[in-house]
Copies of this chain bind each other. A is one copy, B any other.
Amino acid sequence: MKRKITLKQIAETLNVSIATVSKALKDSHEISVKTKAIIKKYAAEHNYRPNTVALNLLNRQTKTIAVILPTFHNNFFVKIFNGIEETANKKGYKLIVIISNGELKKEVESIAMLENGTVDGLLISLSEESQSQQYSQHLQSFIDIAGPIVMFDRVSDAITCDKIIIDDFNCAYNATVHLIKTGCKNIAIVSVLHDLGIVKDRISGYKKALEDHNIPINDKLIKLIKKEYDFETEIKTLLDYTTIDAIIGLEEFSTIETMVIAQSRGYKIPEELSFVGYTNGNLYKYVTPSVTCINQHANYIGKKATEKLIARIEEKETDTTAFETKVIKTNLIYRNSTRKL
């Protein structure tokens, strides 16, 4: 790689001042047509590119946003990221991407790395650990010294900032009601997530739906399976426990895995056992039977989060509006893992 060419070098070879070069390349009217032509020609021939780092230093902004996601092995986050990418790109922002893998340590270390002017703001969906351990001072620290944060989906109440979430309560409620209406009475919940706020909300929505339809709540039907436990064993225990006629999976993996296990045990789906899964995932469409699911409009979440963050970054200090939590509506996509109404 050749050494990058700078204004200074151009100025020296052309025997003009740096300022003249700078102005000429900006097509300033202050500079004579002739000088501009010479300078521009030289710059073009030598592939001059203004050094962004220098400009960042000068402007005290980087036009870069950090994005911290738990994983990409989840269609929901991939779609959110697509929404983020499109929006950021349109507004001229670059993205620094970090995968937390659900680990608080990674989250904390990454944020520390970014707290020094590298980025103008942060989009984050919290790691499960940071929620279970209720640790959030790294986030507050970022806000204090680095810039605005917008949280999405997996958010923390401890931090005051803009948030984009889905109405987890209502969509669990609606999913449960749908199952009840199609004749299900023993509805279980299955999840590999546990310590997240969204999990609590979903369970509340589910319970409320049961209550409203006078169906007794049985906590044993709620299986939040931790990493330490064997998923298959837990599911078999659940299926052995009592007659279950419907299962709500809180993410794609649990839903599909449970369905596969149930099928291998001879359950007829949806005749004997109905399934509703969270996230409009790829798998749902292709497995047999295809799975009724909750569409969270992930792309839109990404878009809204990014728009909000950029607005915050660019807002005048004076017109700071109050932080808001935006709730994105969800809807059910009806497929063949639930009975027809």
Contact = CB atoms under 8 A, between A and B. Distances in A.
Interface of A: 1-2, 4-5, 47, 49-54, 56-57, 62, 64, 72-73, 75, 78, 81-82, 85, 89, 94-99, 106, 113-118, 141, 143-148, 256, 260, 282-283, 286-288
B288 A118 contact: no
Contacts of A1: 143-148
A53 B141 contact: no
Nearest to A94: B96
A152 to B, nearest CB: 17
A116 B146 contact: no
A114 B287 CA distance: 42
Nearest to A99: B85
A288 B290 CA distance: 11
28 contacts: A1-B148, A4-B145, A4-B146, A5-B145, A47-B144, A47-B145, A49-B145, A50-B116, A52-B116, A52-B118, A53-B53, A53-B62, A54-B57, A54-B117, A64-B96, A82-B99, A85-B97, A89-B98, A89-B106, A94-B98, A95-B96, A96-B97, A282-B282, A283-B286, A286-B286, A286-B287, A287-B287, A288-B288
Copy tally for this chain in the complex stands at: 2
A72 B52 CA distance: 28
A125 B73 CA distance: 19
Given A1-B143, A118-B94, A256-B286, A82 B78 contact: no
Contacts of A56: 53
**6 residue pairs, one from A and one from B, having the closest CB atoms:** A49-B116, A97-B97, A72-B78, A51-B117, A52-B116, A53-B56
A56 B49 CA distance: 17
Nearest to A78: B72
A139 to B, nearest CB: 13
Contacts of A53: 53, 56-57, 62, 117-118
Contacts of A98: 85, 89, 94-95
A115 B49 contact: yes
A58 B49 CA distance: 18
Contacts of A52: 116-118
Nearest to A92: B113
